[in-house]
Amino acid sequence: MKRTSIMVAMGLLALLGSELYAADPTPTPMESAVQPPVIAVNDSLTAEVQTVPVGDYDAREWGVVVKQNGTYELDGSNPYSGNKSHLHFTHGHREPVIYFTSRDKKPFSLKVTIPHGRITAYYPSLTDTSGNSVQWQDVNFFPPQGAAPIFTPNCPSLEKYFSILNNVSSDEFYADSVPSKFLFYESAIDFKEPVIALVNLAALTAKLSNQSDYPVRDLMVTFGRNLRGFRVAKLNLLAAHQERIVHFTYETLAPFPDLTAIGFKRDEATAFDNVWNGNCNCHYNLTYRLSPQACDDLSRLDFTPRPKGLIRAFYVFADTEPAEIGRQSMPK
């Protein structure tokens, strides 16, 4: 599988036997001094989905949306990628993973649908797949007869991080008789980045504009590094169609989203950090977290039974445009 276009890492749905969290609050024009964890608990499910029985487990998901140029080629020799084809999309959801912890240890099914894109990779083997959806039927927490040993999948986008993503305290489960600690899928999508960042290096400010109908959170703009550290401009909340100006300050360490602040376990946050921290600091200087509603627009999760609690945390890793940065050097 070769990615020259755009993939979407849909990912890390950690189903944990933890407390339920409150839904994302209604955004206010200004962010508060201290923001509570922004965690969705089935707040975006439709009335039709709400009729599905509820299981005794929680679901947590992280993912990253990035933009790349060119096309995305599916390799037909990869048993986890489907038939070979060339995809033309604007963005991708990269290195995704789904973790589970169940209190009642009862089986469940999950169907993932990409409304405006196509599935490009998945793991483990699937009962049902199509161009824009994948489905795992009867995921069990007890080994079936003839269960296969754990193995590294022939999936280039997953192989590099296979051991990292397995190094968590979530439950082991069995999908199509394959034991695993996570489900995985990637997708290529058409996506319009909601935030524009205009950077004024002379004034050491960044003007952030949210052009979408949903709020975004945990915004960070980062530039360069010198003896004093990194230049960072942060904003907790940017409401729908809001514009704010923020100032750059110095931080000694490169900033990166801390998933424990929004309800993830430490080992899950560590996996996210190990997969994406280096990529973020080397290639992107604008990051922010999408709202649960925006996550649903990117991918739909249909559980049977559905979880009691659902956390979705998708981060956009982007760049400010060179024209917006200008030719001025960073002040020392």
158 falls within a domain: yes
Spatial strand order in the sheet of 85-87: 2-3, 72-74, 85-87
Share of the chain above pLDDT 70, in %: 64
Q: Which two tokens stand for residue 131?
A: 């161009």
187 falls within a domain: yes
The distance from CA 85 to its chain's CA centroid, rounded to whole angstroms, is 25
171 falls within a domain: yes
Largest pairwise CA distance in the chain: 67
Terminus-to-terminus CA distance in the chain, angstroms?
44
Q: For the segment 91-101, what is each residue's pLDDT rounded down to a tens digit?
A: 776 767 888 88
31 falls within a domain: yes
44 falls within a domain: yes
Q: What kind and span of H or E run contains 270?
A: helix 266-283
pTM of the shown model? 0.76
329 falls within a domain: no
Which of 17-31, 157-171, 212-226, 238-252 shows the highest mean pLDDT? 238-252
Q: What is the pLDDT of residue 9?
A: 44
Q: What share of the chain is helix, strand, coil (3-state, %, to 5)?
A: 15, 40, 45
Q: How many domains does the chain have?
A: 1
199 falls within a domain: no
182 falls within a domain: yes
The strand pair at 184-189 and 117-123 is best described as: antiparallel
Is 284 within 8 Å of 225 (Cβ atoms)?
A: no
Peptide bond into 124 cis (omega under 30): yes
Range of the domain at 116: 2-192+289-318
